[in-house]
């Protein structure tokens, strides 16, 4: 037996249509179509429970899927399909309960209300599909496909730690080419997420070059292009770009990273298979898209081409331009103080890029990332890196910078550097946050002290 739709007034029919958009099958039950109504409700309940279960129990796995182009396409299509189903259910529900014999004006207003309701239903799902499409564009634009197969079951096979060279590149208007003024190797334990950042100053000299054409040309260490350049570590990238024979068989924008990875790996005694480079100008766009970044400024920082800017001490929210100068300025300080600030800035950006911040500015962040970031990390490895990053979040990140008095950049002891790296990686990870005291800079041991004692927890060093 069905209910007489003619007894339903305009307000009630619109209310039932709205209710059916939230709870599928409500209008069908109202008019007596119990089987169809129960079926629609059951389908919606199953979808809702599946989505809730996935969000509560499969967080890292969902994030891993979110960096795979095929799954992103599937997610976008699913969102559009769901939008179509919800609109169909809403319209069909209204047709079942719309009042008979309503005036033309009432019919027009009812149709307009249902159209508005359908638009409100479709808008978030279409936007969700767009976010998935933008994500797919970022992944395919920034990350290339692997040229060698990556084991699906165990990507970290025979790899206790993965080492990634993090580069801050500055192609300023007043210089020729790119200078890699910030170079840090992130060494991550693939089982526990224990992470150590090894920072190298840009002005290291007599850098030993890796075997091959580079060592043949510079058997006693990198010399650059005298008298035009002093021959420092931050010139290696551009030198390889300018002289293709330094990295045969590689194309433009591949030679520089390849030679720099091998050079830095040789300095530290580590295998460095991947790099990620951020253009500092593009970095300002990323910070602005986040709404700024909060850092603790320990001393006044003067910045600008004519020292026209100043960042005062204290807890500050820096704009993109201020963050750029926070990590770049050497006025009244030096390279080594700047290196410490760069580590703190990276740490702050990583911590403050929470899901809500990313969601609110996602498209702007995506555009900035495509313009600012280059890397050779293969996209096939991204799901495993996402899962590994969850372990990193729960670990204490340590930082070891090779600066005076540990080393002298004009004549570095590269054997000492490699010993320090090995000792630091062999040391047990730091204690939990509450049990770990801050390490004052003045209390660190000098170069003659016990190896492995100079790495400090980044949170403590930045507070």
φ, ψ of residue 315 in degrees (nearest 5): -75, 120
pLDDT exceeding 90 applies to what percent of the chain?
A: 47
The C-alpha R_g of the chain, in whole angstroms, comes to 29
The secondary structure of 23-84 as a DSSP string is STTHHHHHTT-HHHHHHHHHHHHHHHHHHHHHHHH-HHHHHHHTT-HHHHHHHHHHHHHHHH
pLDDT at 275: 96
Residue 185, both tokens:
């190797």
Residue 227, both tokens:
């008298």
Residue 6, both tokens:
């003619």
pLDDT at 271: 96
pLDDT at 432: 55
Other C-beta atoms within 10 Å of 112: how many? Answer: 10
Closest CA to 234 of 266, 267, 202: 202
pLDDT at 445: 39
Residues of the chain short of pLDDT 70, as ranges, are 1-8, 58-60, 152, 171-177, 355, 431-453
Asked if 208 and 267 touch (Cβ cutoff 8 Å), the reply is: yes
Asked whether the CA dihedral 314, 350, 203, 325 is positive or negative, the reply is negative
pLDDT at 60: 66
- Residue 241 in 3-state DSSP? helix
Asked if 236 and 222 touch (Cβ cutoff 8 Å), the reply is: yes
pLDDT tens, residue by residue, 202-257: 999 999 999 999 999 999 999 988 877 889 999 999 999 999 999 888 988 899 99
Mutual angle of helices 104-142 and 69-97, in 10-degree steps: 170
Task: Give dist(CA 354, CA 188) in Å, integer.
Answer: 21
Q: Residue 232 gets which letter from DSSP?
A: B
pLDDT tens, residue by residue, 170-195: 765 555 568 898 899 999 999 999 99
pLDDT at 58: 66
Count Cα atoms within 13 angstroms, Cβ side, for 167.
Answer: 30
Asked if 361 and 291 touch (Cβ cutoff 8 Å), the reply is: yes
């Amino acid at each position: 037996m069905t209910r007489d739709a003619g007894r339903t007034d305009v307000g009630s029919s619109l209310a039932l249509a709205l209710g059916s958009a939230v709870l599928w099958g409500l209008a069908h039950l109202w008019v007596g179509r119990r089987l169809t109504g129960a079926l629609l409700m059951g389908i919606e309940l199953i979808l809702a429970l599946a989505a809730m279960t996935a969000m509560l129990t499969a967080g890292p796995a969902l994030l891993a899927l979110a960096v795979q182009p095929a799954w992103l396409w599937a997610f976008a299509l699913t969102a559009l399909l769901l939008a179509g189903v919800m609109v169909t259910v809403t319209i069909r529900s209204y047709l079942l309960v719309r009042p008979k014999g309503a005036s033309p004006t009432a019919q027009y207003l009812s149709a307009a209300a249902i159209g508005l309701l359908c638009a409100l239903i479709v808008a978030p799902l279409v936007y969700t599909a767009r976010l998935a499409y933008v994500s797919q564009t970022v992944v395919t634009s920034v990350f290339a496909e692997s040229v060698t197969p990556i084991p699906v079951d165990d990507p970290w096979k025979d790899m206790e730690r993965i080492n990634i060279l993090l580069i801050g590149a500055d192609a300023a208007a007043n210089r020729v080419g790119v200078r890699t003024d910030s170079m840090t190797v992130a060494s991550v334990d693939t089982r526990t997420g224990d992470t150590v950042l090894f920072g190298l100053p840009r002005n290291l000299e007599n850098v030993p070059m890796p075997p091959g054409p580079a060592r043949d040309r510079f058997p006693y260490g990198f010399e650059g292009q005298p008298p035009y350049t002093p021959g420092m570590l931050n010139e290696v990238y551009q030198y390889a770009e300018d002289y293709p024979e330094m990295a045969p068989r590689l194309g433009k924008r591949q030679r520089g990273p390849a030679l720099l990875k091998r050079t830095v790996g040789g300095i530290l005694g580590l295998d460095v298979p991947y790099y990620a480079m951020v253009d500092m100008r593009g970095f300002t766009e990323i910070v602005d898209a986040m709404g700024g970044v909060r850092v603790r400024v320990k001393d006044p920082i003067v910045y600008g081409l004519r020292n026209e800017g100043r960042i005062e001490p204290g807890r500050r929210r820096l704009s993109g331009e201020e963050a750029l100068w926070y990590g770049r300025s050497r006025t009244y300080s030096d390279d080594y103080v700047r290196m410490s600030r760069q580590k703190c800035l990276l740490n702050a950006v990583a911590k403050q890029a929470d899901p809500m911040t990313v969601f609110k500015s996602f498209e702007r962040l995506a555009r900035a990332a495509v313009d600012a970031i280059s890397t050779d990390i293969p996209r096939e490895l991204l799901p495993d890196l996402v899962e590994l990053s969850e372990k990193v979040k729960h670990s204490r990140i340590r930082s070891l910078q090779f600066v005076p008095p540990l080393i002298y950049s004009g004549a570095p002891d590269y054997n000492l550097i490699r010993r320090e790296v090995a000792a630091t990686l062999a040391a047990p990870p730091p204690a939990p946050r509450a049990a770990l005291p801050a390490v004052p800079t003045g209390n660190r041991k000098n170069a003659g002290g016990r190896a492995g004692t100079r790495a400090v927890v980044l949170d403590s060093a930045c507070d």
